[in-house]
Structure 1
Amino acid sequence: MWKRPAPAATVRLGPFAVEAPETPDALWVLDGRQRVISLVGALSASEETVDPRFRIFYNLKEDTFVSIGRREEVPDECLPLTLTLDPAGVSSWTEARFWLTKAELMRVNALIAELHTAPIPMTVIEGPDERRAHQIFDRLTFGGHPDRWRTTRLDVGGAAPGAGAGTGLAALESDVDAFGFGEIPADVLKHSVAAVRFGRPYDAALDTLTGDEWNAAFRRTEHALGIAVDFLRSDADIPHDRVLPGQWVLVPLARFVALFGAPTGRVAELLRRWTWRGFVDGIFSRQESALPVISSIGAAPLTSATRLLSGVRPTVDVRGELDWTVKFPQ
């Protein structure tokens, strides 16, 4: 850590954001940012958190830590780590599970005690010498490459938990980034807001919204994109945007989710097939081919999913082109 002054700013650590005030002795993280984010995220994430890295539970039966997706059913014996900092919450959780054995209750108490008392070693350097901080960071992280030096501020000087992270497209980018799905381009987000709000791609009508209408549209879009990302992870088996063949699929998915909620059953299966056929067809790699798809969404979940699927070419079935006859040598 590097102790030095810091201006007022919104500080985001995974799913957790605070409005940090100006302070003369903020702690800037020189090394260990991902570890800090992992700890803060796992202990403070809300139930609606999309990123599976922060949905961590302690399985009392198996004595292990597990990650459980937002759309997955949480077993009764799995304690959310976010409750471990809330004594009343833990008490309510254990009382509701009267079948817990004495040994399991002791595990809960031991876990909470460990989390509350476990030391986190760190070294704090002071002084305005930026070159010294450069050298320390280089040696710890990049083996001495000074051009790669970066710092991320972690303010521990009294920022208020739960403060908002701002408004506008930049705030939406920051919130969506907390999904852990990767960086979603601003153009995709802008068209997603328009699709959710008006049911069509971005146009000048969006610029006529008032500040409150903008903020409401952003909140609704963030929620829709979170469910869309859940769908891509859980149903389409796409864990991250690095393996996403086309990010424009998020725009029609956001519209679909905003109207009908999380897809399930037959609807989810049709959307999964539509997603992958669209990738193969190249629809979602281009804005001009992906955005018109929005107009197919509207009547009802099953009808809309069927329309979407009928709008892409079926995948090629090569089985009919191959000779599957087993031939043995004479």
Structure 2
Amino acid sequence: MNAGPAGLEAQPTATTYELGDLIPLAWGGRIRVPHFQRDFRWQSQDVLRLFDSIVKGYPIGNLLLWVRAQQAEEFMLGRLRLTAPTHNESLWVVDGQQRLTSLANALSAEGHPYRPFTVYYDLAAKEFVENPKSPEPHHIALPILFDLKKLLTWFRTDGLAASEHFDEAERVATALRQYKVPAYLVRQDDRDVLTDIFDRMNNYGRRLNRAEIFSALYSGEERAADDRLTLAKISDNVAARTGFGSIDTGTVLASVLARRGPDPMRDIRVEFSLSGRRTLPEFPDEDQLTAYSQGEEALVRAVNFLVREAGVPHISLLPYRALLVTLTRFFAHFPYPQPNNLRLLRRLFWRLSLVGPMVFKGSFTLFSRTLGSKIHPADEEGSLRAMLDTLSEASPVLPGADRFRTNEATTKIILSAWWSLRPRSLTSGDVLDAQNLDALLGSDRTAANAAPMVFPRLRDSRMKLLPANRLFLPTTSDPVSEIPALLAGQPLDIDESTWDAVLASHLLDRDVAALADRDRDVFLALRQQRVLGHLAGFLGRMAEWDYEDTPSLDSLDLDREFDEFDEFEETDLPAPPEVD
């Protein structure tokens, strides 16, 4: 067995830092995150739990800090742009990045406005909360709570109405500033020893995911690391360019790899080398930066197809990640498909959404490998037909619609069907567009916040879970706690025809809507029928099971004899079942 680096020259030094001293060190640039570290990946709930643990005095784990000399340099720590001064003993985080980044940003006025760092303390409820939609006088932002001078000023001004909670604020502020964080300081010049420690700490008990390993392998030199394109930056760029939300870095990596070869699950350790590979890359002369930038472009084209052609407006409505990986490979080789081929691709997407898990045994690897192998550069028509042929033995199906859970593929399909209705606000009558959806969901993994319950307190759990008990309302202006009353009464400032359009956009009419405030069971039964009927119609239009998968006219050799066109005949597939 390879012994690896020789080891540490001296044992780490144990010490403790109070947060009141540690966080200013981070703000002053003394604490850095090595570029071989994983990207920041905590969500709002992780940050809330961290602060809750601190105030309760719970341990939050040790820090492992690498002590080394550092020249002056600007860098990013989460959302903070900081300047690191020249120093002989800068502190580089080997273990504790997520915790330190969260603390430094949530407690800073510059980092606090950005999710997931927008944390407040509810002085009345005595708990940490994410950015409240309707701030109350007893909600105080963490940067104010952490700074004694700002805290005293706040109680004399904006927080005057919360003066009765001063003792609670002082208690929490003191607990935050005086909380002691244990740390080990490692003094070691050999970078390989530190990366070996990092590898062992992140692979024994809590393994790195594939995207994090890939990012570490190809992280490059420390110099200009902040400006280098990474998987996380590709995700951010695609979200900013398309409004599609944040794609996880695992899917970004698979998409980048799918563009360069048919198997996105291949060995990543030789990706930018010609030696040790089983097959040659389809873009053998490109470097890593080109692979990343061109991967981003192909991913953007794939996302635009989903939004404009397939009717999937946000990542939270995508049934399966493997579909996006396959589309990225297709658009990498065929950036501008023929119009008829776009229709065939839409047809393929929806058929795969419905039967793909059955055909490919629910395996991301089998799904992406099989379809990736069917996409042949320079053969757009052949690639499409080969992918469609993988479903030739599959029968049309309709997904079950007896429960609504936003993390499940069936619900995502239902939401896409509802999106085609162009849902409208119940209070203004305005059509809610993709910008509303992206503003509400942002980086959310599911569309839960855009699909409130009509009746959240139903006793019958089966009725409560029905899609009929949900509306697609991607807006913060409609009071979701008042949906039954909103449905039962037309607002005074909305005219008759607009109100009819509002109700129709939620699969309702005046008669059914009026039942929301009178007879819940009948309301849900009638709307569930409409949900099923609309879903069948939507999928019939999108998947087009009973249409011939013929190529575009431009691809046909019209000089050939007609009996040579047998290869274009489609296996007969039954039409989707009718829904009562």
TM-score, length-scaled by structure 2: 0.29
Higher RCO (CA-CA < 8 Å; seq separation 6+):
1
Provide TM-score, normalisation by structure 1: 0.47
